[in-house]
C-alpha cells in the first residue's frame, strides 16, 4: 500500500492518543474484531489518515475521533507496527486475529489464547501518571 502519510507520525499519534480494543461481533457472537480510535484536537490530522485507510471521523465536543474497525484497523496497524515503541506487543497480538486462519476445529481455542494474551498485555500494563 503506497502512502504519502508518514507512518512514524501515525504511530506517535496512536501511542499518545490511540485506543485499541478487541470486540466481540454481535451478529455472529463467536467472532472478534479490532476496534481502533485515534483522537486529535484538529480535524486535518485525522482527515488524511481517513482518506488513506477509511473509517469514520466524528466530532465530540472540541475533539475529533477517527474510528476504524475490522480490516481497516488491521491495515492501519500493519502500516505502523514497525514504528511503534510502547504498544508494539499489544498491536502484534491484535494483528494475530487476522493472521493464519485455521480450520474451524482449532479456531475457538486459538481465539481464546489470543484474547487472553491481549488482555494480559493491556490490563497488566502500568499506567503513567500525568503531571499537572
Residue 102 has a pLDDT of: 47
Tell me what pLDDT residue 117 has: 82
pLDDT at 122 over 70: yes
What is the C-alpha to C-alpha distance for residues 68 and 33, in angstroms, rounded to an integer?
10
> Beta 63-69 vs 56-60: how paired, if at all?
antiparallel
The pLDDT tens digits for 2-47 are: 457 889 999 999 999 999 998 887 887 777 788 999 999 989 889 9
Asked whether the beta carbons of 66 and 55 are under 8 A apart, the reply is yes
For residues 87-98, average pLDDT = 85
- Tens digits of residue pLDDT in 57-92: 999 999 999 999 988 999 999 999 999 999 998 898
- For the chain, the structural domain boundaries read 7-123
* CATH no. of 7-123: 3.10.28.10
Q: Which DSSP letter does residue 82 get?
A: G
Amino acid at each position: 500500500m503506497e502512502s504519502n502519510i508518514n507512518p512514524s507520525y501515525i504511530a506517535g499519534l496512536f501511542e499518545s492518543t490511540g485506543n485499541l480494543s478487541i470486540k466481540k461481533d454481535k451478529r455472529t457472537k463467536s467472532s472478534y474484531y479490532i476496534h481502533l480510535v485515534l483522537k486529535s484536537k484538529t480535524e486535518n490530522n485525522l482527515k488524511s489518515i481517513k482518506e488513506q485507510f477509511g473509517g469514520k471521523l466524528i466530532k465530540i465536543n472540541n475533539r475529533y475521533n477517527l474510528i476504524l474497525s475490522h480490516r481497516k484497523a488491521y491495515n492501519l496497524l500493519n502500516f505502523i507496527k514497525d514504528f511503534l515503541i510502547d504498544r508494539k506487543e499489544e498491536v502484534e497480538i491484535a494483528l494475530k486475529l487476522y493472521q493464519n486462519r485455521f480450520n474451524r476445529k482449532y479456531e475457538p481455542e486459538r481465539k481464546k489464547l489470543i484474547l487472553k494474551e491481549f488482555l494480559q498485555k493491556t490490563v497488566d500494563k502500568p499506567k503513567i501518571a500525568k503531571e499537572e
